[in-house]
Structure 1
């Protein structure tokens, strides 16, 4: 062996730490280059790590080096369940390890790494074993991290925090201690670590069991060997520290504005003003004005800017619901990127997210996009991805107002250099604290496009507005007074610090009162009169109240059908109009089918509750009936926006709104309560009427009501 290739001449230090150097370049590569044998025992080992240690493994392979690996497979919950159920332990562990290898074959860098392993296995110079902890009937993970490099005369042992994975060596903050056999201070510990590995390899370590794995893995590794490039080709894995040449196909992940996309002037202004605030801020844009495309245009500009300085970008999009994640994915693919959808089973997306982080750390991709739901975003697995990532990060929040809730706003990553919030209504209803938290994180509203401006700009269609007045019956009125008095007492006692919390006393009462108004029994006969006039028309949306009428319960059970069931019975069975429901319980494939049938004129009516409130594209809709009468401005603004989206052949939309008022002859109703009820309803009416084509007609219709309650200025 040439003297310069020996370990004692490799200039290896006694400690390596991420803040003081490069563990890969300064330790792994020179140690491998000088070794004839490498032993490694780690919690996790992935073949893609061989793409990191680059020229070191090339030299090691050419000099007929031998490698022994002991690793612990990553066990999912279902693996543990199988073990506890009595499945053969060896079979379960092999299945888990093989699953990791199979997933590795989806990554081109990992395939190259597996190809290197395949050469070593074929020549009998690599062996792999699986380790696990046994304690009674329980099975645990082996997490020790030790390694030994050997040449013909000496050995170098090390131990520390790094796993043998891309993230372990590149993405995380790691440290290792190194012990050299020729150094009197290190010799005893170096030899002890070497003996520990030999005991482990030969299954002589108490509490641990070690079993062969190489044969089980051969098929996958050999397949990757055939798929990988020629292992003698030095260009397959660039030398550590050398500039990486990005092929055209490696530009995947770089968002680019589609050539056929016509970016409107107001969208350009929005992006410009967001950049003027150093890439932070909220876009308050009316529903239907293209917030998604505006945000992606901004992301594409950030990607392009960072590309010029050699920095990749991770874009994380947070949306309230799974169907909105799917909707975002379609638009992102138009921008040239296949995004990772992170929701439902963690096992389905977490390994791919880890691989994306590895690729970004290695600069083998220019960017990537992960889309997730609010729920998944707040969970430990997704938070661990954000905590691990240290590169350039753009966070886009769709319907950003949702992230002001106390339980989720604390999860927003401080590491995001770029932050973009999207909402037609960024202010949280009855939650000043949550609203302030949003602007503290995302920045102020940097661009605003209201409904009137959107209609003038041609982004939304014009509409007519018809308020239909319905009265509460006597029982409903009594309950309304009772709830309102309780709300008044809470305000008088200043117990409204928890207003944004749906589970607070105030939140419960507000929800109950809105539920009562939404279910007012006089609405169904009024709806029949209205929809009968449009029996021949297509593209009609019906927004129903959630849950049950508060007075419909007898002995703890609902004594009458839910409003949506009554509506579907009326429309489908009595008026013979093809209709379908679209609710939270509707499965995603069925939802897509309902929307497609609606667009194709196979359904006249869709009856929904909240599922069509945020983000769902139903541009074909021409008429919307608002049976649910929430006073939350966000809800009625979202519902109005659903029906104002542009569509081929669509020039006008109609909104029919059912306004609840006290009964005309109800002397027991308190004047203040009565007036407040009408004032709340008229606030929405005024908002809707101001921009409607028939504003004057609507105001004339409501004038007698305003006079009766002294609300001419409302």
Structure 2
């Protein structure tokens, strides 16, 4: 370039570009390309469409010998991140992700643009590197966004801004960049500092970042595209690259999916909530579609706000990661891609900030966030929540979990709309927590009990068969000792009915429940029942937690889940798999899919993992080994089995109740009080079953022994 040729100084550059005033691509990027000789860019992530979009502006740039360097984060999806967590080689996963992006189905114009870039790579005029945060075995998104133009006269223009090198970042979203001209006294030091930052990044000298060359196999794929595509001029118009869905549908908004039929009771629930000005609780039996009902409510609110030209910030809280994953699928069905808020904030925080900024600028009608309770209560997410000034709807799934002092104190007070979902919103032995939830969300505005849900066909009918199992000699000895200690605590004034789980009495009650839950005789009874159903599919076994209690000083007893797996697989030769908290999320999805085929896994053996929220409608037979008088737990487990599924006309529940031998010398009144709670559970199961007379017949001798015939 000679002194008579135009350079960066000849451009009429602003110090800031915003989408509300100009087309950032047309007014900044393209003019800079026409005079620059080198372009260096570091961004959050890139896609093939964005590379093709830039190809439009760099034809003249590269014809003069211009060179381009690009640093970006690989576009990793959920499967990629899970593989990295499980120990897969990071670079192999990054290579796979990059190839997937280049091989994805594209419009002809995109392929032409990629072809040009492939030719530039082959000629050495374009070099790409991939950057990611690598700490503690995980990978985070590199989200810095800086760019530098240099011309042949030595002049420099640097910029920072919100644009990613993606179609959405450059064209569809609201974006702004700050520009620093190297020849200006005020801007010069900033421009040089940004260039130094890029050079450190390019040479992999930036702490906590790993910068790798573009995968060789992906580089070859790009070059092959360059060789295969014809060399023809790219159109000047930006909309040549617009996908049809973008030009016709506009920003994503909540819409009830065409395949969904809103049931009358769901409509009634939403109307009841709206009448309470968008606050309240839905107490609906497990399996009746609380999630979809909540999304219909969110859609109604979003429609009202859209008429006012206001955005909706939708925050969904769920206790566990796999429930977040399920909610994401549900929200996507309603037309919006939500952000998963769990694990490292490096994965979600930049995206959350970007989308909230877009909502503030009127460019995004709905921002959907799905968070685990733990992440939502964390300092970083709480900071985000405190700055939200747009209408905020909080949907709490399994809302009873938020009644603890830690979680309820973190509930956002700036939430305009509040919706709590639970089959059992009342907290077990925690009146303060229950009251706090009502104070925040509002009262129960709609209730759909199990009996009504079965009657209307929302849930399937079922058979219930209680199995009484006597404790063996060692178990009985432990049981008698614990009962005596419980009697002592009650005599000292402790309240059995409202015992705090963390109190000494609560500890003794858990120990007693452990003996009953792990009773050895249950496995023999289970084996007999399974043997009669050896050819059946869709069977669940719920095991007691932990290990079988033993005398003080003795080693802990066997694990019921391991014993059950050994019996089902080795002795009965049935195909089975465990499903526990340590099972990776990706593997859980595979297990549920295999279980649902009806020709692969006959039995899933679980502890608490299948209690809350897991959608497993194909389950037909459930074996309840765990003994719990907590109504939430047994209601959740029953609900897992009563969901509707094709070809399923009824479910069967077998409940194993351990009791001491009739001659056991225990405090009669204490034992009667304790047994009452467990018989209430069995009676609750039995009274809505199709064979209630079976429950009455089996339990009659026990009720007679403890003078409970009036139950």
Instruction: Judge same fold: TM > 0.5, yes or no.
Output: yes
667, 670, 675: which is aligned to 2:667? Answer: 670
What residue number does 2:267 align with? 268
> Secondary structure in 1 aligned to 2:617?
coil
Partners of 2:622 and 2:496 lie apart in 1 by 38
- Displacement, 1:338? 3.0
What residue number does 1:699 align with? 696
606, 617, 622: which is aligned to 2:604? Answer: 606
- Displacement, 1:401? 0.9
What residue number does 1:580 align with? 576
Partners of 1:353 and 1:614 lie apart in 2 by 28
- Displacement, 1:24? 9.5
Query: Could you give the per-residue CA deviations for residues 545-576 of structure 1, whole angstroms, max 9, x where no partner exists?
Result: 01101117865454xx31122222333333x2
- Unpaired segments of 5 or more residues in structure 2? 1-13, 30-41, 48-70, 74-96, 105-109, 111-116, 118-161, 166-172, 179-184, 207-232, 240-244
Partners of 2:590 and 2:246 lie apart in 1 by 41
Partners of 1:402 and 1:334 lie apart in 2 by 26
- Displacement, 1:607? 1.7
> Secondary structure in 2 aligned to 1:629?
coil
> Secondary structure in 2 aligned to 1:441?
helix
Question: Residues 339 and 348 of structure 2 are in contact (CA less than 8 Å); yes or no, is this contact kept in structure 1?
Answer: no
Partners of 1:553 and 1:414 lie apart in 2 by 48
Partners of 1:290 and 1:606 lie apart in 2 by 23
- Displacement, 1:614? 1.0
Query: Could you give the per-residue CA deviations for residues 247-282 of structure 1, whole angstroms, max 9, x where no partner exists?
Result: 556645312111221211101101111111111211
What residue number does 1:625 align with? 623
Question: Residues 45 and 164 of structure 2 are in contact (CA less than 8 Å); yes or no, is this contact kept in structure 1?
Answer: yes
Query: Could you give the per-residue CA deviations for residues 608-663 of structure 1, whole angstroms, max 9, x where no partner exists?
Result: 11111111122222221211111100000011111111122222222111223332
> Secondary structure in 2 aligned to 1:338?
coil
What residue number does 2:559 align with? 562
1:491/1:302 CA distance change after superposition, 3 Å = farther
Question: Residues 284 and 447 of structure 2 are in contact (CA less than 8 Å); yes or no, is this contact kept in structure 1?
Answer: yes
Question: Residues 611 and 636 of structure 2 are in contact (CA less than 8 Å); yes or no, is this contact kept in structure 1?
Answer: yes
1:357/1:201 CA distance change after superposition, 3 Å = closer
Partners of 1:202 and 1:612 lie apart in 2 by 51
For residues 66-77 of structure 1, the aligned pairs below 5 Å read none
What residue number does 1:468 align with? 467
1:656/1:311 CA distance change after superposition, 3 Å = same
1:296 aligns with 2:292: no
1:23/1:619 CA distance change after superposition, 3 Å = closer
- Displacement, 1:451? 0.3
> Secondary structure in 2 aligned to 1:437?
helix
Question: Residues 356 and 368 of structure 1 are in contact (CA less than 8 Å); yes or no, is this contact kept in structure 2?
Answer: no
> Secondary structure in 2 aligned to 1:696?
helix
Partners of 2:45 and 2:494 lie apart in 1 by 63
For residues 158-237 of structure 1, the aligned pairs below 5 Å read none
> Secondary structure in 2 aligned to 1:492?
coil
Partners of 1:486 and 1:579 lie apart in 2 by 47
Partners of 2:556 and 2:338 lie apart in 1 by 45
- Displacement, 1:343? 2.9
Question: Residues 339 and 352 of structure 2 are in contact (CA less than 8 Å); yes or no, is this contact kept in structure 1?
Answer: no
- Unpaired segments of 5 or more residues in structure 1? 1-11, 13-21, 33-42, 49-71, 75-98, 112-117, 119-161, 166-170, 177-187, 210-229, 237-245
What residue number does 2:439 align with? 440
Partners of 1:284 and 1:428 lie apart in 2 by 13
> Secondary structure in 2 aligned to 1:256?
coil
Question: Residues 281 and 420 of structure 2 are in contact (CA less than 8 Å); yes or no, is this contact kept in structure 1?
Answer: yes
What residue number does 2:653 align with? 655
- Displacement, 1:339? 2.9
> Secondary structure in 2 aligned to 1:354?
helix
> Secondary structure in 1 aligned to 2:466?
strand
Question: Residues 547 and 560 of structure 2 are in contact (CA less than 8 Å); yes or no, is this contact kept in structure 1?
Answer: yes
1:675/1:688 CA distance change after superposition, 3 Å = same
What residue number does 1:309 align with? 308
> Secondary structure in 2 aligned to 1:430?
coil
Query: Could you give the per-residue CA deviations for residues 420-448 of structure 1, whole angstroms, max 9, x where no partner exists?
Result: 11110011101111112212222211110
What residue number does 1:524 align with? 523
- Displacement, 1:190? 11
Partners of 2:480 and 2:690 lie apart in 1 by 37
What residue number does 1:89 align with? none
- Displacement, 1:301? 1.7
Partners of 1:233 and 1:293 lie apart in 2 by 45
- Displacement, 1:202? 13
1:477/1:557 CA distance change after superposition, 3 Å = closer
Partners of 1:632 and 1:490 lie apart in 2 by 24
What residue number does 2:705 align with? 708
1:464/1:300 CA distance change after superposition, 3 Å = same
Partners of 1:568 and 1:601 lie apart in 2 by 16
> Secondary structure in 2 aligned to 1:314?
strand
What residue number does 1:477 align with? 479
> Secondary structure in 1 aligned to 2:410?
coil
Question: Residues 395 and 419 of structure 1 are in contact (CA less than 8 Å); yes or no, is this contact kept in structure 2?
Answer: yes
Partners of 1:547 and 1:270 lie apart in 2 by 39
1:705/1:45 CA distance change after superposition, 3 Å = closer
Q: CA RMSD in A?
A: 6.6
Query: Could you give the per-residue CA deviations for residues 512-563 of structure 1, whole angstroms, max 9, x where no partner exists?
Result: 33222211222222323333333343322211101101117865454xx311
Partners of 1:484 and 1:600 lie apart in 2 by 48
Query: Could you give the per-residue CA deviations for residues 439-485 of structure 1, whole angstroms, max 9, x where no partner exists?
Result: 22222111100001101110011112222222334223224315524
Partners of 2:199 and 2:631 lie apart in 1 by 69
- Displacement, 1:383? 3.2
- Displacement, 1:297? 1.4
> Secondary structure in 2 aligned to 1:646?
coil
Q: TM-score, normalised by structure 1?
A: 0.67
Q: TM-score, normalised by structure 2?
A: 0.68
- Displacement, 1:686? 1.8
1:487/1:689 CA distance change after superposition, 3 Å = farther
What residue number does 2:213 align with? none
